[in-house]
Structure 1
């Protein structure tokens, strides 16, 4: 019977449990609980250092998470993901999945989950999720399932797929390597794949049908009615409309786009169409149709200056005030493009002004009136000059247009980083940092936009989880728990031994780290196998599977933290959805191990 753990191990367990309770109750924010955890560890180790260490070494342990390679890796991956979004590199994949989701939301989610599982069997979990994450955030913005309902199931599917081969995760390689050093025969890449595939089939209905229902819709609700902007679209030679009937194109456009007084027959260059729709839908329609809603010369001027000055083109909503010179003028007579170098691509007129008798000129152009909202495209400086010069009030609704000229470049950088990490040419940390640096150097991501890619909550949480993992390991708490487990298992049946080892490693990986669970669990499983006269392979696989069952807390694995900010998840979301999945997987995998190895 193991003795009482040392005081540092007891304190480490108490701090871990207290942090878990703080997260689960949700009365304090994740950031506060994380910072308090780091502070308690730092102060405690300063006054009561670990044996053989000094006070300053305790401070280094507590704050090491802020400089840990795992945190740097996640930040770099977030930056690369941001690069894919702002350059529009993911739009083709997002449009394909969008069509599947439009056909049927449930089928779209099922296809996505299966795709994630298959990809992560041959590619490391983290790069797979990094590739899929911005796609599903984009899909949510386009009206598919909310990101909060898809990202946790998607992450779980990636983790299950990564469990199926030795190359699926770095943790699998670590467990197999330790077991080989202990004397177990080498494990092949696909030796345990059939076991995991059966478990995946059992878990898939839960991921697909149950898990999304356990998650709330954390997307920001629209307040009020969206403004509808009217625009005049000119058909160009390269436009999708050229030589086609309008009815053929409508299914490819957002549902809330409407055409007014559309001409019959085939459309020809230089024809103009009146269309209306919300801000985002109008932008998407203009992109798809490849038409022009403003004079070609001013659009070329804006794009050329954006390239020269390395600035982003933005679209912003501005309202006409009472003292604006635009009142009673039309767009052609206003000289906006000549004076300021910006393009008005749409106008929203409040309903109270729609009945005015003089709202149109003799040429049929709308006269501006107080309260009109203009949708204006240009560079930030020119837009500010336009607002000041013509007494316009800038409203919310600024959107940066994707830098599509760099879409291929950003995709190549991401694929290069993922590829080098997947084949083991470079560690994921180095590959991600190199990719992030290239994103900055090539202008795919701007330095002043980095704050939008990073999440303070995730950064502090990662730092706290790393500190907890270190103190649990260094204090001897993990080793003591392993000894306690080994003592109790000698009285159980082989099937129960497998389940207990897997459950123990699962708990350890959800509160410490995969590496800690693998390092502690593998030797214990090997020793228990020798003590009970059991073959070591199933017990080692129980450890390997348990290290991958990291669904129940956000601190269990880096992909859990990657999705936390994008899905607006709370700690309890992981517990509510992850604990049933852990129970399901432990039960299924234990049964499969018993049947496969005839225990």
Structure 2
């Protein structure tokens, strides 16, 4: 029991600090538990049976709640790829609505959708749309990104399928031999908290959020300068030149922000760094300075003449076997190159855009050099942000993670194509164009039928979710490759490890010891106060741990507290659900908070300043509501 408690403490520390990745911590936890209970089995003194077996520890992989969560991820991906949410988004951004009304409608819509859908893909869909709304309003995106995430979290606490956390707590009740939560059992308390929370999000939150400039704005000094690039030809006077005090003599009134050589990025100062043919100089300059250098050195600001041929060759390498089309494309590229000096085609204009790596992206885990990003997308990555911080050192060696922001320069046509495979979401330089509809009505019908059957109790949620996921694949709303990518391995491994720890805590008696210790400290305060303090403790942990791990680890403690107090265990289970969803005060507790950290350019302290009052508001509301509703 004590070894299990010590291991739990170590795992919590590793989850919070992320000294080791969450996936490796989870796998390591499973391995340690398997070895521990194999070499030192916990034996029931009365029956002589093992209290914790390998089957118990690995049962998480077949846990119905986890399977439901994974199936719902596939269903959500099918809805998005089929364009089933497009009409909703288009209605919310109707031109007849003012921009502020559109933002308000989107916030409420996200909360409603998150009650029935996994909120991560919902947030990913609306991030670029809200970016476009922020441009229309002439306000910083930081004013609208955090309300988007908080609305999704609040909506997720209103129904059983609103969040994976809710399903896991319900599953833990089954494991403990109790009745699971019904579909709308958490709805009364959840609606109260979500309603109050949305009032705060809409009326107060935009006023306390700071103005944060994005990467593009900082690099261009808020629009006073333009970002451009110089591809150094072999006969250029720049070849061999070195910077003096960070500036190049041949480029007066121009600031060189970065020198890209192949897949290597060199940041200033450029002391003793000689320019070579083929180097790409990313520059910032006024319109007058760019005009001057363009007139003095014609063609210097344009890509090499063979760029079109190289692109055609790239298409062939990427699987385009229609040689005629490839040659035609190459000829068109050449014709465009010839006409560049006379005026650029819109598709050939160089633009600077910010993009975000999506949770299901194929880019995750690899660096730019391994991906051959420039060759694959024909765009140049000139900056990477992680958790709103610019990563400067060895940019091409950084392994990409979900939520990373990439500052990308390329032709308009190429940047528009970046998000087609949903590896990246274009955050700026776009109007937030939505994908074309494909089987949208059928996908929506499958989802609504599955939710309806589960809500009415006709079939178990796990059955409805898995069948709906299979049907999404069958009707080609999503293919097998896309469905596989939609499965979040972080959720899978963290939940399985947390379930194993929870099983060990319960079966060794560690959860009961924690509950009895807490009860000994607060027994005289009464059930209502203990429930309120339990909510606050769980809400505090969910802001430093993942919400799923917090829910699974605290459910056995809550059930034991309920047993000692003589209270319905569902009361403490619902409390765990609601509190574990209160991931407002930090970016690490919930994935949507991490996803909007880059687009909103937030710091950690922004979440504390904006989210802590919301957490306290929800806690006070619950503390007043719970004693009346459950007659404590």
1:520-553 deviations in Å (ceiling 9; x for gaps) = 5356436536xxxxxx68x974663343211356
1:222-245 deviations in Å (ceiling 9; x for gaps) = 999899xxxxxxxxxxxxxxxxxx
Contact 1:150 1:212 in 2 (8 A): no
Contact 2:153 2:581 in 1 (8 A): yes
Of 147, 152, 157, which residue of structure 1 is paired with 2:149?
A: 152
Change (3 A) 1:176 1:588: farther
Of 3, 20, 23, which residue of structure 2 is paired with 1:11?
A: 3
Contact 2:123 2:152 in 1 (8 A): no
* 1:409-448 matches, cutoff 5 A: 409-448=442-481
Of 169, 173, 197, which residue of structure 2 is paired with 1:203?
A: 197
* 1:532-543 matches, cutoff 5 A: 541=571
Change (3 A) 1:324 1:169: closer
Which structure 1 residue ranges, 5 or more long, are not aligned? 1-7, 228-317, 328-335, 361-365, 374-391, 530-535, 555-559
Change (3 A) 1:473 1:553: farther
Output the CA distance in 1 between the equivalents of 2:541 and 2:508.
Answer: 14
Contact 1:84 1:410 in 2 (8 A): yes
Output the CA distance in 1 between the equivalents of 2:456 and 2:517.
Answer: 39
Q: Which residue of 2 aligns with 1:72?
A: 67
Contact 2:169 2:551 in 1 (8 A): no
Q: Does residue 1:95 correspond to 2:90, yes or no?
A: yes
Output the CA distance in 1 between the equivalents of 2:25 and 2:304.
Answer: 44
Q: Does residue 1:528 correspond to 2:565, yes or no?
A: yes
Q: Which residue of 1 aligns with 2:78?
A: 83
Secondary structure of 2:341's aligned partner: coil
Q: Does residue 1:354 correspond to 2:349, yes or no?
A: no
Output the CA distance in 2 between the equivalents of 1:26 and 1:216.
Answer: 29
Q: Which residue of 1 aligns with 2:28?
A: 36
Over the residues paired in the alignment, what is the CA RMSD in angstroms? 5.8
Contact 2:190 2:578 in 1 (8 A): no
Contact 1:24 1:571 in 2 (8 A): no
* 1:273-312 matches, cutoff 5 A: none
Change (3 A) 1:325 1:76: closer
Output the CA distance in 2 between the equivalents of 1:42 and 1:571.
Answer: 39
Q: Which residue of 1 aligns with 2:126?
A: 136
Change (3 A) 1:142 1:156: same
User: Which structure features the higher share of helix residues?
Assistant: 1
Output the CA distance in 2 between the equivalents of 1:218 and 1:463.
Answer: 39
* TM-score, normalization by structure 2: 0.53
Output the CA distance in 1 between the equivalents of 2:514 and 2:26.
Answer: 24
Which structure 2 residue ranges, 5 or more long, are not aligned? 135-140, 221-225, 229-302, 313-320, 351-374, 380-413, 422-434
Output the CA distance in 1 between the equivalents of 2:62 and 2:213.
Answer: 31
Contact 2:119 2:153 in 1 (8 A): no
Of 535, 550, 555, which residue of structure 1 is paired with 2:580?
A: 550
Change (3 A) 1:442 1:354: same
Q: CA deviation at 1:348?
A: 11
Contact 1:421 1:431 in 2 (8 A): yes
Of 484, 504, 507, which residue of structure 2 is paired with 1:474?
A: 507
Contact 1:457 1:565 in 2 (8 A): no
Output the CA distance in 2 between the equivalents of 1:60 and 1:321.
Answer: 61
Q: CA deviation at 1:153?
A: 0.6
Output the CA distance in 1 between the equivalents of 2:122 and 2:91.
Answer: 13
Output the CA distance in 2 between the equivalents of 1:79 and 1:138.
Answer: 22
1:142-169 deviations in Å (ceiling 9; x for gaps) = 6665896355313321244349x9xx96
Q: Which residue of 1 aligns with 2:38?
A: 46
Question: Which structure would you say has the larger Rg?
Answer: 1
Output the CA distance in 1 between the equivalents of 2:151 and 2:503.
Answer: 29
Q: CA deviation at 1:49?
A: 2.6
Contact 2:541 2:550 in 1 (8 A): yes
* 1:369-384 matches, cutoff 5 A: none
* TM-score, normalization by structure 1: 0.56
Output the CA distance in 1 between the equivalents of 2:514 and 2:578.
Answer: 19
Output the CA distance in 2 between the equivalents of 1:481 and 1:101.
Answer: 57
